[in-house]
Amino acid sequence: MTVNRAVALEGSNASYFTNGDDCHTGGVICVTIEGRGVGLTLGKDLTQVSTILEIAASSRARRQHQGVNMNKKSKSQQMKLKDGHTLGYAEYGSPEGEPVFYFHGFPSSRLDWQLSDPDDAAGALNARIIAPDRPGYGLSDFQRGRKLLDWPQDVLELADGLGIDKFAALGISGGGTYAAACAYGLGDRLRKIGIVCGMGPAGAPGMKEGVSWTIPGYPGILRIVILKLTAMGLQKDPDQFLSKSKETMAELDGQLLEQPALAEMFIEGMREAFRGGTKGANQEAGLYKRPWGFELQDITGEVHLWHGEEDLNVPVSAGRFVAEAIPRCQANFYEGEGHLTLSYNHIREILGALVG
């Protein structure tokens, strides 16, 4: 058999090989974990891949992930919503400040705010950052059958539970999609909306060429494998995972992560995403591929958008598409900024636009 796809994640000491993109229709996959290989015929026994990888990761996860190392600037909590599921969130900045709901990247967690704001600009600008984990990430329960437009209702319940009437919303990278959903779905509860290097719809120019589309772009079974290998790599050898990640980024983003404290924040945010497994990330990857349930042209509120010209994760062409589609969008495109550096270098400007 001719192998025409091969992927290896050295940080997890695991690899897989398939005989084509349409493996969900009955291809063959060989998963090799720590020197042991297993061949499976997909379409006949899809659950075995998941089971094998769960077994391989479970003992390591028990040894290495007994808890999460919280940033001292954050306060992580949970809230039970009306439908019974738990929503986890963290707070940063000024407890009495202007509320800004922050939506993390993909795949990541409530902890990734600290990568954009390690020096607590939020506190200095009197901003209260409320960063929820989306379902299946971090401290939030997984929910089957989720739709993108379910998110605004979760945010609304969290705001009501915290006694917050009006607020701003900010989404970075994969969180930009959710900021757009809230801009569409929450009406006058939102004071202002910000999107930073946000993912666009699947049909946006260049969207599928970006690094952020790597996981959503795989067919179902391969996506599950990739996510499980990612989670294993983050646990077993985060330094190797970081090194491989930097190879796919814009050079200036990789240089930013040469700072040990920022590299630790990057890893911490992603590792926490997989606290409860990979179901949340897998479900969300599917949501990005499908129609969002609304049109960007139907967003009536004012939206502030920032995007780096050097972004390899979400190409700037996707950002320009979103900016042109939203009727009242104030867009800023920066030369010499990438996916990570833009928020890191411009967080005061971004927050100033939202709480000023």
Nearest one of 170, 153, 113 to 303, comparing CA atoms: 170
Determine the 3-state secondary structure of 7 from DSSP: strand
Residue 356 is predicted with a pLDDT of 82
Residue owning tokens 């506190």: 123
Residue 196 is predicted with a pLDDT of 98
Could you give the CA distance from residue 241 to residue 244 in angstroms, rounded to a whole number?
5
Residue 16 is predicted with a pLDDT of 36
- Residue 34 CA from chain centroid, whole number: 28
Residue 36 is predicted with a pLDDT of 32
Residue 74 is predicted with a pLDDT of 66
Q: What is the value of pTM for the model shown? A: 0.82
For 75-209+285-355, the fitting CATH number among 3.30.2130.10, 3.40.50.300, 3.30.70.330, 3.40.50.1820 is 3.40.50.1820
Q: Mean pLDDT for each 10-residue chunk of the chain (356 residues)?
A: 32 37 34 34 36 39 35 78 96 98 98 98 98 98 97 98 98 98 96 98 96 93 95 96 96 98 98 97 97 97 98 98 98 98 98 95
Could you give the CA distance from residue 321 to residue 288 in angstroms, rounded to a whole number?
16
Residue 164 is predicted with a pLDDT of 98
Residue 22 is predicted with a pLDDT of 33
Could you give the CA distance from residue 330 to residue 199 in angstroms, rounded to a whole number?
17
17: phi then psi, degrees, rounded to nearest 5: -135, 135
CA angle 348, 135, 71 (to 5 degrees): 45
